[in-house]
Amino acid sequence: MNTLGIDIGSSYIKAGVISTGREALIQQTNFPALPKLPSANPLVYELDAEELYNTIHNIIHTTAASVPLDGILFSTQMHGFVYRTKSRPDHYISWQDSRCTSPQKNGISVLDKLKAFISKEEMWVSGVQLKPSLGMCNLYALLQEEDAPSDDGTLFTLGSYLIWRLTGNNICHITNAAPLGLVNIPEKNWNKPVIDALGFSKITFPDIASEEFNPAGYCFAGGQKIPVYPDYGDQQVSIAGACATPDDAVINIATACQLSRNTQIFIPGSYEIRPYFEQTYINTISNMPGGRNLSVLIQFLKETVQLFTGKQLEESDMWDIINKTLEPDSGSLKAEMYFYPTNEHLSGGKISHIMPNNFHISNLFQAAYEHIAEEYAKNLPLLEGNSRIKRLIFSGGVSWKNMQLIETAAQRIELPYKRSPIPDETFNGLYRLSLAIEHKGGLPDASLKRTLE
């Protein structure tokens, strides 16, 4: 079976042809993610959904012209959405959008307003609580703006928008529906009481796929009729690719970071509950500092170098130099890496305890690593319940590029660890999903360790 796997991330769009027979990725191509559209509001983070569709359309048609395809699988970033009306261009409002935290004329943000009339108890069945990156919060904020679109539009997840453009069917997988905050996860359906409370009752929602390994529709490319499968959440695909067992905690460090653990039971707690595959769940601590937090420091250094020398440095070269200079400790310098808004940290991070002899680049980055490791160590016990975590699995692009960070984290947590089986575990996850589709069964047992070459 040949499947075209397309991973739409925040930094890159990656596509590859996965051969289940050869257990190999036989073609691969990467593109930088689309740039953020300009906005006067720094809290707004939108992408041109039409341009994104054209990119995906070209990938599919170019691939189908040279390779027979048995299916198309999407792994997409979660929480965001496309809200389509006649008066509004098709924009993807990203999980990096936090317009709901912007104060309105009365000084109260939309997020605070929502917290006043939607209780934590009402949100339990959705598996998430109200937060700046949540799709429902930013959709509500969009509909409160002065030039707001009409309230009877069509809502898409990022994946269901692409599926709709390819097949005519607005169908999404529950792993992408749930992060909007508008799903009753145990019932596997849209949460009508919350939808009505928010005034979303006129909106047309995607159908949630009733069968996760059945096609959502078909597209035609290269003379082929190709099944298009529901969009799978990128976190779930990553965990499948990491071959995690219930004894493992997965620390996925990419643009963002999540701490996760598989479970068979839906029990609300001090974590998010996200649908996984085969009627199971992943308990998740989200909004952990990750790659984008470290990039704030890198961007400052890049700007400094360019200002004083006129030279442009590559990030990869900068990381090589920085990690070679690190000392075992930060020399009492402290860094708090919450530079992006979360429920608990809305006012940004900070660098403190600066003294005449400790404000050096090596100390700054070691302090950053130590703070990130401390946050992971502090939050991981929330995922233990009645069963202790026995091993860590580090996944995500940052884990494979920054050994110093994961070693700092593993030493602080004091558990054995490994990295995901291959550097891009998303393709390994899509491979395992391809096996489930091919054999019309479930995911291969993680203990079998079937991975891509």
- C-alpha 441/C-alpha 433 separation (Å) is 10
Q: What is the pLDDT of residue 246?
A: 86
| pLDDT > 90? residue 200 | yes
pTM summary value: 0.85
2-234+426-447 CATH pick, 3.30.420.40, 2.60.40.1840, 3.60.10.10, 3.30.1180.20: 3.30.420.40
Among 233-242, 325-334, 344-353, 443-452, name the one with the lowest average pLDDT.
Answer: 443-452
Q: What interhelical angle do 49-64 and 158-167 show, nearest 10?
A: 60
Strands laid side by side in the 272-275 sheet: 272-275, 281-288, 257-263, 248-253, 391-395, 417-419
Structure tokens, 246:
């219930």
Q: What is the pLDDT of residue 343?
A: 65
Residue 228 near residue 162 (C-beta atoms within 8 A): no
Q: What is the pLDDT of residue 197?
A: 92
Q: What is the pLDDT of residue 195?
A: 95
The domains spanning 2-234+426-447 and 244-420 adopt the same CATH topology: yes
Question: For 86, which DSSP code?
Answer: T
Bigger pLDDT: 155 vs 344 = 155
- C-alpha 218/C-alpha 311 separation (Å) is 49
**What pLDDT digit, counting tens, does each position of 351-362 carry?**
999 998 889 999
Q: What is the pLDDT of residue 173?
A: 96
- 452 pLDDT tier (thresholds 50, 70, 90): low
Average pLDDT over residues 36-47: 92
**348 φψ region: left (φ > 0), alpha (ψ -120 to 50), beta (else):** left
| Residue owning tokens 């595959």 | 277
- 388 pLDDT tier (thresholds 50, 70, 90): very high
Provide the CATH topology of domain 244-420.
Nucleotidyltransferase; domain 5 (3.30.420)
Domain boundaries defined on the chain: 2-234+426-447, 244-420
| Residue owning tokens 């039409």 | 50
Average pLDDT over residues 191-213: 94
Q: Indicate the SS3 state at residue 256.
A: coil
Q: What is the pLDDT of residue 324?
A: 86
Average pLDDT over residues 58-87: 93
| pLDDT > 80? residue 318 | yes
Cα–chain-centroid distance for residue 262? Answer: 17
- 219 pLDDT tier (thresholds 50, 70, 90): very high
Q: What is the pLDDT of residue 305?
A: 93
Among 160-169, 234-243, 318-327, 426-435, name the one with the lowest average pLDDT.
Answer: 318-327
